[in-house]
Each structure stands twice: as C-alpha cells, then as structure tokens.
Structure 1
C-alpha cells in the first residue's frame, strides 16, 4: 500500500487540543489572578469557609485515633507522675512528722529553760498570705509584685517567705500592691547564721550571676565554712525572725591573693517560681518599747532599796 494513502492524523479520542505550553500559561495566569483577587478582595474566603465546614467532620474522624493515643499517653504519664508525687509526699510527710515531734520537744525544753533563766517569751510573728502577681519591669533588679498593700496592713521592711525559706523583703508599699526585693537582688543584704558552726555573717545578692545566687562577704579565708552548710536568719537585725532558712553554701573559694574567701550560696526559697508567699511583721515592731528611766524599778537600775 502506498504511504501517501495512510491518514497520519490522530483519531478524535487522542486529540490533545491546545498545546501544553498554552495550558501552562493559561493556568498560571488564572492562579495569579486568583491569588491577587483573594489577597485584595477575599473572593475565595466564602469558598474556603464552605470547604472547611464540609471537611470538619472528616478531620474530626481522622484525628480521633491520634487524639485517643495522645490522651492514653498523657493518662499514663499523669498516672506515673501522680504515683511519684504521692510517694515523695509520703516520704516528706514522714520526715516532717519526725521533725515535728522533735520540734515540740525542743520547744518545751526551750520554754522550761527560758522560765528558769527569767527570759522573755519568744515573739510569735503575725503573717499575711499574699500572691505574687508579676516580676518588676526593671531587668537589672530582682523584685516581684504581690497583691497585698497598705489596705491589708503591709508595712515597708516586712520579711517575705515561701514554703522553702526567706524570699525577700517588702521595700515599697502601695494601697493595693507591694514591691518585694528578693534576697538575690544585688542591693539586698541579710544577716545569717551558719547552722553548723553558729558563726554569724551577712549574705548579699551576687551581681556576677545576675541575681541568681547569694554571696557571703567579708569572711576570712580560714573561716570554718563548707559546701552544704545551711544559713538561717540570725534575728539580730530586728527585721527577720531567727531560724528561717535563707541559703545553702554551694562553693567556697579560698584565694591566696585575698584575705577573704569567696563563698557562693544558693537561695532556699523559690526566687524564680514563687507563687504564694507569707508576709511577716518585722521583729522590731513586735518588741515592746523600752520603758522610761522613771518607770524602771530601782533594783533594776542598780540603785539601793
């Protein structure tokens, strides 16, 4: 058969119509038009909302197994965490029970000794519960704002503690809120007592660590201070009651070129995460005023009867 008699045109079923390049240009122009129209006139927003509404039940069904697995994993993690917390709480409760019995015995012994020596009774410090609202705006200080002020009887200079130890001191009082300077602030100082040795010193906020710790200054290089020592309030400043936990000695650096040791301490209170606190009355406010010379009996003035 001669080749000229063959029809080389494709059958109607295989005809492609416009070329691929033309289709690409038309689709690109349409896509660009839709993007511009959607960005400026929000023409596709109703369509998108309708499609999202139709597909929402499908999404819920598809996400069902995923949510079920996540909930199951969260349940077992929460159960494990709750069991660990319960075990830790039981241990802590047992320790506190033992300490409470010891404290009660010591309190009775202390009362007997005070009566024997004729000393005045130890002051019981009134307290006011408060909640930390937010940190102070100044990034160069370590201060927090609490939700109690003059209206609730808060006074400037009042000690502030949390469940772990001394948190700081009230430095500014407003009618409804108060500003508390933390013990780790670089301008804060607190007299402390080494519970192991009974030595007194002063703890300052450490500015080198940006308020994250405390420093015992002016301690001799041969002072009996060891890592792990607990520092409590000494009570000699007339502000903090004695015996409140303040810090724990972390490191002691004795340098040959200095007569003083560099002692770094970690605060016992949750200075970065305290939520609920107690505001105490300053000790000096609770101490009775000294009687006038005319009111003192002659025997106590050293005079003769």
Structure 2
C-alpha cells in the first residue's frame, strides 16, 4: 500500500474545495450586493455604457441583413397591395362609368314624374365632416366619439354616414365632442327599404346578440321575398335619415318551419370598425317647416240692418 494514503487525505485529483452550498451562498450574496450597489450608486452604469459602445458596430452590422430582408418584404407587400387596389379601382371605375350614362336620364325622368305628381323636391340636407377620436369605453355597446359637438351645431339624433353608407346616429352631444351609436348596436333600429323588391322593414343592431356583429332584419314573414345580396337603404319614413342611403346587404336568410318570421342576417355597408372620417347630417325633422297655425274658419257675421 502506498505510504501517501496513510494520512487519510484524498488524492489531489479528488480535492473539491468549498462545498456547492457555500459557493451558492457566496455568489448570491455577491449578486445581491452588486444589485443594491448598482441601484444606489450606479457603479455598473459606466461599464454597461462602455460595453454597449464597443458592441454597437457589431450590432449595426448584424442588423443590416435583417433590415434588408424586411425592406424587400415590405416592398413586395406594398407592390402587391398597390396592384390589388389598382385592379379594384379599375373595376369600380368600369361600374361607375356604366352607371354614369344612366344618371342624367334617371334625373330627367325623376323630375318629370315629380312635376307630374305634384311632389315637392327632396330636402337639401346640411352636412359637416368630423373625425372619430376613439371608441366608447363601454364594452357592451357599439359607440364612437367624434370631434364635433354643440359648439359646431351638432344635434342629438343627427344621422352619421361614411363614404359607404349609414354609420349610426348621434345619441349624446357635449360642448366639443359627440357620442355616435353605431347601427350595429343592439339598441339601434333603422327603417330600411329593399331596393330590389321595394318592401320596407326595420333593421336592428345585432352586435353581441348572435355574435355576428352586424344587423338583423326582424319581423319579416317567413315567405317574404328576401334573398342574400339584396341591398337595404334608408326608407326615410322615420324623418331622421334621408332616403336612399345604403345601410346593409342581406348575408343570410333562415326560414324555419316552427317560426312565422324569417331570421335575416345582414352586414353593414359602412365601415363600423376602424372608421376615421365621417359626415354628420342634419336630421330631417329639424328641416321640415312647422305646420301653419289653423286660421279661424268662423268669421263674425255682420248684422243686417233692421227693416223699417
């Protein structure tokens, strides 16, 4: 047996030094000390600044390929979007060109019919533009806030539209801002007219009711002539919305044998999500002249002179 093992000491290869627990405690205390010292005395801030300065060129060079790839992706994405927008604009231009030839003829026919029937001309609705500031904080309603109020002449009940159709109605007016309830709100209703059949109905907001976030044409008979794709416009019978403004398109018609009414789901024509600029119309009720006071029908009869 080697004499080196008689002193009961481990060979140099198996010497471990301090235990792992001791190392953990020392390192933890050192880390805690450095964190406290950095927070109180900011002793590591110059070191970090120096390291960041030295590593900045390396970081700049490393980010060049990433930025180049992003630039190329953005270019092709923008190019693809531009091509799609150009194609959509051309299609819309073709449709508008086809309709433009019929506008003058329809205007002349409308004027002749109104003269023939003795109808008055349609009211000219005053308008003003507004910008949507933010959505209302209430998660159970569909409302937005616009930057026009009493100071700009906005009145409660005024219709609000965008470039595509009816957006909603002003329900609350403040001095500088107004609250607009969207057509998809569950408490909003608007009289509509089916442009294909001429049938009238009432469209109710359906946001949150069936999870569709659109509108529902209620109380229509199960055998009513309503088809997907029918355009619904304002009928004007409520005296609030001018007639002929697009409201929604029919998306789905469900006819159930156990119900006398059909469930008609529609999606709004206006951009109810993410709209930025809107137009506030003046309510038709405020433009209609007041009814003239009834004149006294019975006039006092002059007394006849008595016969002699």
TM-score by length of 2: 0.83
1:261 corresponds to 2:262? yes
Structure-2 residue corresponding to 1:37: 33
Bigger shift: residues 70-79 or 188-197: 70-79
* Pairwise CA distance, 1:110: 0.9
Structure-2 separation of matches of 1:26 and 1:48: 29
* Pairwise CA distance, 1:38: 3.5
Indicate if the aligned counterparts of 1:38 and 1:45 stay in contact, CA closer than 8 A. no
TM-score by length of 1: 0.84
1:184–1:255: structure 2 CA closer, same or farther, 3 Å change rule? same
Structure-1 residue corresponding to 2:185: 185
Structure-2 residue corresponding to 1:59: 59
Indicate if the aligned counterparts of 1:233 and 1:246 stay in contact, CA closer than 8 A. yes
Secondary structure of the 1:265 match is strand
Unpaired segments ≥5 residues, structure 2: 4-11, 298-308
Structure-1 separation of matches of 2:235 and 2:155: 21
Structure-1 separation of matches of 2:283 and 2:189: 15
* Pairwise CA distance, 1:35: 2.6
Structure-2 residue corresponding to 1:299: none
Structure-1 separation of matches of 2:210 and 2:58: 54
Secondary structure of the 1:293 match is coil
1:208 corresponds to 2:195? no
Structure-2 residue corresponding to 1:223: 224
Structure-2 residue corresponding to 1:271: 272
Superposition RMSD in Å: 2.6
1:94 corresponds to 2:103? no
Structure-2 separation of matches of 1:57 and 1:193: 67
* Pairwise CA distance, 1:295: 10
Secondary structure of the 2:181 match is strand
Indicate if the aligned counterparts of 1:130 and 1:278 stay in contact, CA closer than 8 A. yes
1:280 corresponds to 2:281? yes
> Between Structure 1 and Structure 2, how many residues are aligned?
283
Structure-1 separation of matches of 2:102 and 2:33: 79
Indicate if the aligned counterparts of 1:205 and 1:211 stay in contact, CA closer than 8 A. no
Q: Give 1:71-220 correspondences, 5 Å limit.
A: 71-206=71-206, 207-210=208-211, 212-220=213-221
Structure-2 residue corresponding to 1:244: 245
Indicate if the aligned counterparts of 1:184 and 1:211 stay in contact, CA closer than 8 A. no
Unpaired segments ≥5 residues, structure 1: 5-15, 297-305
Bigger shift: residues 112-121 or 168-177: 112-121
Bigger shift: residues 115-124 or 170-179: 115-124
Q: Deviations over 1:254-294 (max 9, x none)?
A: 22222111111111111122111111011122222233333
Secondary structure of the 1:261 match is strand
Structure-1 separation of matches of 2:217 and 2:107: 30
Structure-2 separation of matches of 1:293 and 1:199: 36
